[in-house]
Amino acid sequence: MNDLLPQNATTWQFIESSFQHLMKQYGYGEIRMPIVEKTELFKRSIGEVTDIVEKEMYTFEDRNGDSLTLRPEGTACCVRACLQHGLLHNQQQRLWYMGPMFRHERPQKGRYRQFHQMGVETFGMAGPDIDVELITMIARFWKVLGIEDDVRLEINSLGTSTERTAYKKLLVEYLTQHKDKLDDDSLRRLNTNPLRVLDSKNPDLKDIISKAPKLLDHLDAASADYFRQLCASLDKLKINYVVNTSLVRGLDYYSQTVFEWVTDSLGAQGTVCAGGRYDGLVEQLGGKATTAIGFAMGVERLVSMVEQSATDIKPAAPDLYIIAAGENVQQFAFSVVETVRDEIPALSVLLNCDGGSFKSQMKKADKSGAANALIIGEDEVAEKKICIKNLRNKEPQQKLTLTELVQFLK
């Protein structure tokens, strides 16, 4: 779990505010959920035989003996909140959220125990137009972040649960023939959740997985047509993608469209955004059958990509540093800075506190990165004037009244 320090916060703010703006552009509403939910919620939605539920959840008993879990992802929480507040009664929803998620994984680059996701969940739209909207919106976001050349889209279809049940039989037959080459995790999943074998990160299984029968070849006409429409629409919008037939996602609730945006620039943890359709989840959690699709992006991975990219994000330096040196000058300095903040709200103004000599305050002003310093000494207070000094260029210092100063700064 990481601390975020001011020197890194600028990149985070850039990414978060860009996402908020994107959501406004597309007409999505924000939802904030608590970070703790009943453990049952995640077991029922994500699935008992998944990495998350099997070994990654932070689960504890609270003082009432209820089993609670720090949320490992947002979708289940969002569905729970929507059901609880009646947001899905005969209406469509387009929602977004951002915040911390918790998974007890082996920490490594791009994989942390508290990490952050920005996500979208939509309800009541059967697609594939809404699928296209989400993918288009994400593609736009990469451009805003300046990383569009470093990510690629992989898509697949998981069909319906009926199609998956039929396909699982074929898959199990095939994997059973190669039982001797499977690792322990995959052997266990062969019996409990065979699709999950396709999601294995073990490089030794790559070959077996790539030669396995493909769910995409076993979809019925309706699902196949849905996927064809999605692809055709992306083609028309000139959004590049590759069909990855072994993309199954690590969570159980997906159906039809699934997608991931991946990069080669982050090493092993290359998925920066992942999502898909989960038409069965709302009903599974006690609501009326409701179509749904969403995605989540890992913010830490985006921060790494933006830091590596050419996108120039300057740490915010103040515009003005106020030097107040001498006897009884601070009160005048306060009234000056407050007036400046009233009159020019966009300026970032840093007032020297705790005194110090003129020289030491000048040093602090320089170090702050501010473009200009306002200098207030005993003479200035007596004359009710303020000196302004450009800290970055050699320009003559000026002495101005407060009104002149505001005019000058404007």
150 part of the interface to ligand ATP, by CB under 6 A? no
258 part of the interface to ligand ATP, by CB under 6 A? no
In Å, how far are 88, 92, 295, 334 from 405, measured between CA atoms? 55, 53, 50, 15
Rounded Cα–Cα distance for residues 223 and 160 (Å): 7
| Residue whose CB is less far from ligand ATP, 102 or 332 | 102
Site for ligand ATP in 379-408 (CB under 6 A): none
| Residue whose CB is less far from ligand ATP, 8 or 398 | 8
| Residue whose CB is less far from ligand ATP, 94 or 301 | 301
Residue nearest to ligand ATP (CB): 298
Containing 94, the helix (H) or strand (E) segment is strand 93-102
Q: How many CA atoms lie within 13 A of 173 on its CB side?
A: 8
321 part of the interface to ligand ATP, by CB under 6 A? no
Beta bridge partners of 61: 67
| Residue whose CB is less far from ligand ATP, 263 or 330 | 263
Contact region with ligand ATP (CB under 6 A), list: 90-98, 102-110, 152-160, 339-347: 102-110
| Residue whose CB is less far from ligand ATP, 280 or 350 | 280
- Answer for which of 255, 269, 352, 372 binds ligand ATP (CB under 6 A) is 269
- Answer for which of 14, 19, 97, 115 binds ligand ATP (CB under 6 A) is 115
| Residue whose CB is less far from ligand ATP, 268 or 316 | 268
Query: Which residues are CB-neighbours of 259 under 8 A, at least 6 positions away?
Result: 135, 153, 154, 155, 156, 241, 247, 274, 275, 276, 295
Both tokens assigned to 337: 């800075």
330 part of the interface to ligand ATP, by CB under 6 A? no
Contact region with ligand ATP (CB under 6 A), list: 3-11, 109-117, 163-171, 317-325: 109-117
- Answer for which of 196, 300, 303, 362 binds ligand ATP (CB under 6 A) is 300
Contact region with ligand ATP (CB under 6 A), list: 59-67, 107-115, 305-313, 347-355: 107-115
Asked if omega into 345 is within 30° of 0 (cis), the reply is no
The values of phi and psi at residue 144, to 5°, are -60, -40
The β-bridge relationship of strands 349-351 and 36-38 is: unpaired
Contact predicate 261/273, CB 8 Å: yes
- Answer for which of 16, 54, 105, 343 binds ligand ATP (CB under 6 A) is 105
Side chain identity at residue 226, one-letter code: Y
Please choose, from the candidates 52, 70, 47, the residue with its C-alpha nearest in 3D space to the C-alpha of residue 60.
Answer: 70
Contact predicate 85/287, CB 8 Å: no
Site for ligand ATP in 61-80 (CB under 6 A): 73
Both tokens assigned to 217: 């070849």
361 part of the interface to ligand ATP, by CB under 6 A? no
Contact predicate 44/285, CB 8 Å: yes
**3-state SS assignment for residue 158:** coil
Contact predicate 242/217, CB 8 Å: no
x/- letters, 25..64, toward ligand ATP (CB under 6 A): ----------------------------------------
The β-bridge relationship of strands 292-298 and 372-376 is: unpaired
Contact predicate 309/15, CB 8 Å: no
Q: Where are the alpha helices (DSSP H) in 146-277?
A: 161-177, 184-192, 206-210, 221-236
| Residue whose CB is less far from ligand ATP, 15 or 274 | 274
x/- letters, 270..299, toward ligand ATP (CB under 6 A): -xx-x---------------------x-x-
Rounded Cα–Cα distance for residues 302 and 88 (Å): 31
Shortest Å distance, C-beta 214 to ligand ATP: 20
326 part of the interface to ligand ATP, by CB under 6 A? no
Contact region with ligand ATP (CB under 6 A), list: 20-28, 112-120, 322-330, 349-357: 112-120
Contact predicate 323/391, CB 8 Å: no
- Quickly tell me which residue has 């451009």 as its tokens: 143
- Answer for which of 250, 326, 356, 369 binds ligand ATP (CB under 6 A) is 250
112 part of the interface to ligand ATP, by CB under 6 A? yes
193 part of the interface to ligand ATP, by CB under 6 A? no
Residues that bind ligand ATP (CB under 6 A): 73, 103, 105, 110-112, 115, 117, 250, 269, 271-272, 274, 296, 298, 300-301
